[in-house]
Amino acid sequence: MSRSLHDQTLALAGLFQAASLVRQVAHHGSCNEESLETCIRSLFASDPASTLDVYGGELSDIREGLDALSTSLAQQSRPQDAEILRYVLNLMQLESSLKRSPDMLEVIGNRIDQARHTAGHFGYTHSNLIGNLASIYSDTISTFRLRIQVSGNPQVLQQEENAAKVRALLLAGIRSAVLWRQSGGRRWQLIFNRKKVINHARELLR
């Protein structure tokens, strides 16, 4: 099994985890706190020794993402699978636009650096940090022509705390999309290498 397939699968799991949590928050106003922390923490992993280190170093940290990856890519028949996959593909597209905008990348990097103090002080799931990251997303990624349409319960999404969580998770999703591309991931592989990716995700889940 190639190292690149392993790293790509881990990065994709990070992407699917962020997308899956976006869906949970948008529909129910809550999500798994540990999975949320993994996604948010990944934004601050600036010099990781390995792809897995971006997500905390343990497979259990991205278990939810591996699960979402192996079911959403395999089935695509349930509405939630189609929704998660749509977010993943949109995030990949946004990352592609971001790659062509070095100035915006620099702004995002600088502002995430400034948010480190908040993360260190309050922790990764505190509303102060989530709000801070959400504003980074709003001021940068949200200005692209492609906007991610988040489906869910309008009453849930109207609550500022939930809207902030969704934006912070989308920013974390972009981080994983960057990582996926850096490990050699390309969109065509989701079609032609789909079985390999699904099988590897299932092996990792075991």
Reply yes or no on whether the pLDDT at 74 is more than 90.
no
Architecture of the domain whose range is 3-205: Orthogonal Bundle (1.10)
pLDDT score of 172: 98
Per-residue model confidence as pLDDT tens digits over 112-169 = 999 999 999 999 999 999 999 999 999 999 999 999 999 999 999 999 999 999 999 9
pLDDT score of 2: 67
Reply yes or no on whether the pLDDT at 87 is more than 80.
yes
User: Domain limits of the chain?
Assistant: 3-205
**For residue 55, what are its two tokens?**
């997500």
For 3-81, where are the E strands, in sequence order? none
Residue 139 is which amino acid? D
Q: What is the pTM of this model?
A: 0.97
Long-range CB contact pairs, 141-144, < 8 A, 24+: 141/94, 141/98, 141/108, 141/170, 141/171, 141/174, 142/167, 144/94, 144/97, 144/98
SS3 52: helix
pLDDT score of 75: 77
Based on its alpha-carbon atoms, the radius of gyration of the chain, rounded to whole angstroms, reads 16
Per-residue model confidence as pLDDT tens digits over 18-31 = 999 999 999 999 99
